[in-house]
């Protein structure tokens, strides 16, 4: 249900990005909007689905498992009230400090481009505060095993932006259209919260907003919040480091990075976030002695890792081999040209390096949070950011010149270097958790089979793409190529004895009544 909700919202999100690409492409306005959107979005990611989920859900789900609903309602109300107060203050500070934030996140912006980015950030900040409250709704609903609504709710936010762009697109210049899209984002944020509130109030009976810190459970959430805030925060900082370095590259680098991120975060959300989000309340509800808890966590982790790898490995291969086909299908329209699709492909290929490590690392971090250990993931996340910063600078700024290639391609080096850092963090997380609960991880034969299946599927899909005429419509080409890719991948994986391939095939057969 998590994956279904995320898939629905991401599909509409891709439509939103396609509409943005149609009107803004890789212009100065697109760069300004992409950079501006990152700043308040950081607020949402830090306080919302990241730190809040990791600190709140384990405590709240544990209370529900013990059937202490009165205390659960008190915790939910106190956390909601504290969150609203903190968000109001941070939004105010953020609006006042926007020029300084722009200088930090996009020091390469000058003149009208910088002024537009400042205006956009000031518009977007209140919407980000509302989206943090949406994440509070998500934590409550997930703990009650109500997964679909909270992950499908962003559909209404995306629709608000899409409608605004389409209505105003023919009558506004690119700068004016970016401002309209920002206001639509704020309206969509409010709608996203409102659509979840009725269900939240129905499942969390006894919820009363208050600034009550007398409860030990509330204090536990507050104590755990800062380490998880910092842990998830440094991961977000790595993305901001990429944006900062991209702003130093020629025009279009920031926007192209944003388009690529829309694509490569899709499988992370569908198959990484969905598994981790579903497992966190389940792992947090486990009771028993240390050996029983460890055995349960090992079982859930190994199952989750196999689920993630089955879909992330072919996703990484598709980005590396067929990224231009995907980028063209989603974005090639209006001002967004074939050469822009090729540019985004290079960034996607770099992102493929760390795609598997990043998604599996998220699941291992959830294992630590279920054990109420928020500090271990923080240490390794800090190391990841340091590596991302150092390697990202080297790959983006001096390396293109040393290789004799245009410096605009430094943005592809950013995503590749971030992938290397993700593998280091993943290895450290796995080693530390295995020491506590016993050996976990993927079988070498299993992962080898998946890579073989993905490579053969890429060869089949790429060969088909070469047979199509150059003027073929990008969407038709992508449907044919990805269709062949998927069929070959599942067929080869099944032939190699991968149990998940047969399991999903049986589910599809049942779905179609066969």
303 & 405 share domain: yes
Q: Which domain holds residue 486?
A: 443-514
C-beta pairs of 86-90 under 8 Å, 24+ apart in sequence? 86/47, 87/43, 87/47, 87/129, 87/132, 87/133, 88/129, 90/43, 90/47, 90/129
Q: Are residues 432 and 513 in the same domain?
A: no
Classified as helix, coil or strand, 251 is: coil
Average pLDDT over residues 69-75: 83
Same domain, yes or no: 462 and 338:
no
Same domain, 128 and 263: yes
Residue 40 is predicted with a pLDDT of: 62
Residue in 170, 209, 60, 40 with CA at minimum distance from that of residue 117: 40
Token pair listed for 150: 């909270």
Q: Mean pLDDT over residues 251-274, rounded?
A: 81
Last residue in a domain, options 442, 463, 482? 442
| Domain stop point among 406, 423, 442 | 442
Residue 473 DSSP code: -
Give the burial string for 342-370 (b: 16+ CB within 10 Å, else e).
ebbbbbbbbbbbbbbbbbbbbbbbbbbbb
Q: Where are the alpha helices (DSSP H) in 106-248?
A: 111-143, 148-152, 154-168, 174-203, 216-247
Between CA 52 and CA 224 the distance in angstroms is 9
Q: Are 364 and 433 in contact (CB under 8 A)?
A: yes
Residue with tokens 């930090």: 104
Alpha-carbon radius of gyration of the chain = 22
Q: Considering 415, 442, 469, which residue would you say is the last residue of a domain?
A: 442
289 and 375 co-located in one domain: yes
- Distance linking the first and last C-alpha atoms of the chain: 22
- SS3 percent helix, strand, coil of the chain, rounded to 5, is 85, 0, 15
Closest CA to 132 of 89, 102, 161: 89
279 and 244 fall within a common domain: yes
Looking at residue 508, its pLDDT comes to 66
In this prediction, residues 496-512 reach a mean pLDDT of 75
Is residue 313 domain-shared with residue 376, that is, in the same domain?
yes
Write down the pLDDT at residue 131: 80
Q: Mean pLDDT lowest for which of 230-244, 359-373, 428-442, 495-509? A: 230-244
Rounded Cα distance, 25 and 335, in Å? 5
Same-domain status, 398 and 463: no
Residues 425 and 460 in one domain: no
pLDDT in tens, 174-218: 888 889 999 999 999 899 889 988 888 888 877 778 777 777 888
Q: How many domains does the chain have?
A: 2
pLDDT in tens, 300-333: 889 889 989 999 999 999 999 998 899 888 888 7
pLDDT score for 275: 79
**Are residue 366 and residue 462 in the same domain, yes or no?**
no
pTM: 0.71
pLDDT beyond 80 at 55: no
Say if residue 29 is in the same domain as residue 151.
Answer: yes
Same structural domain for residues 273 and 326?
A: yes
């Amino acid at each position: 249900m998590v994956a279904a909700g995320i898939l629905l919202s991401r599909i509409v999100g891709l439509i939103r990005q396609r509409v943005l690409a149609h009107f803004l492409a890789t212009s100065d306005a697109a760069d300004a909007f992409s950079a501006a959107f990152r700043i308040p979005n950081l607020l949402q990611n830090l306080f919302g689905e990241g730190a809040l989920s990791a600190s709140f859900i384990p405590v709240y789900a544990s209370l529900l498992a013990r059937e202490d609903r009165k205390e659960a309602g008190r915790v939910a109300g106190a956390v909601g009230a504290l969150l609203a107060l903190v968000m109001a203050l941070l939004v105010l500070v953020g609006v006042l400090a926007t020029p300084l934030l722009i200088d930090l996140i996009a020091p390469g912006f000058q003149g009208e481009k910088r002024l537009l980015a400042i205006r956009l950030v000031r518009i977007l900040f209140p919407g980000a505060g509302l989206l943090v409250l949406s994440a509070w709704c998500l934590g409550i609903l997930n703990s009650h095993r109500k997964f679909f609504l909270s992950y499908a709710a962003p559909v209404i936010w995306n629709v608000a932006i899409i409608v605004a762009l389409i209505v105003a697109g023919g009558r506004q210049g690119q700068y004016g259209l970016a401002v309209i899209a920002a206001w639509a984002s704020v309206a969509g944020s409010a709608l996203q919260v409102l659509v979840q509130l009725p269900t939240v109030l129905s499942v969390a009976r006894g919820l009363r907003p208050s600034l009550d810190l007398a409860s030990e459970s509330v204090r536990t959430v507050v104590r755990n919040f800062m380490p998880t805030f910092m842990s998830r925060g440094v991961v977000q900082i790595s993305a901001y480091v990429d944006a900062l370095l991209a702003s130093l590259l020629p025009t279009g680098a920031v926007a192209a990075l944003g388009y690529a991120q829309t694509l490569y975060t899709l499988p992370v959300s569908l198959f990484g976030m969905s598994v981790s989000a579903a497992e966190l309340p389940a792992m947090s509800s486990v009771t028993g002695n240390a050996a029983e808890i460890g055995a349960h966590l090992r079982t859930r982790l190994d199952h989750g890792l196999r689920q993630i790898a089955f879909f992330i490995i072919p996703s990484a291969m598709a980005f590396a081999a067929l990224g231009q086909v995907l980028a063209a299908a989603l974005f090639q329209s209006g001002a967004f040209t074939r050469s822009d699709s090729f540019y985004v492909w290079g960034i996607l290929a770099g992102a493929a390096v760390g795609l598997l490590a990043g998604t599996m690392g998220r699941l291992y971090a959830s294992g630590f949070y279920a054990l109420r250990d928020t500090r271990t993931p923080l240490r390794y996340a800090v190391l990841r950011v340091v590596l991302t910063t150092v390697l990202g600078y080297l790959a983006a700024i001096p390396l293109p010149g040393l290789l004799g290639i245009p410096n605009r391609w430094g943005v592809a080096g950013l995503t590749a270097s971030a992938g290397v850092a993700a593998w280091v963090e993943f290895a450290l997380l796995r080693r530390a958790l295995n020491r506590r609960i016993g050996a976990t991880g993927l079988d070498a034969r299993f992962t080898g089979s998946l890579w073989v299946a993905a490579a053969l599927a890429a060869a089949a899909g790429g060969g088909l793409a070469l047979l199509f005429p150059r003027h073929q419509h990008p969407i038709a080409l992508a449907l044919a190529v990805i269709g062949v890719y998927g069929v070959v991948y599942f067929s080869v994986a099944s032939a190699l004895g991968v149990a998940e391939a047969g399991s999903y095939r049986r589910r599809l057969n049942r779905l179609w009544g066969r």
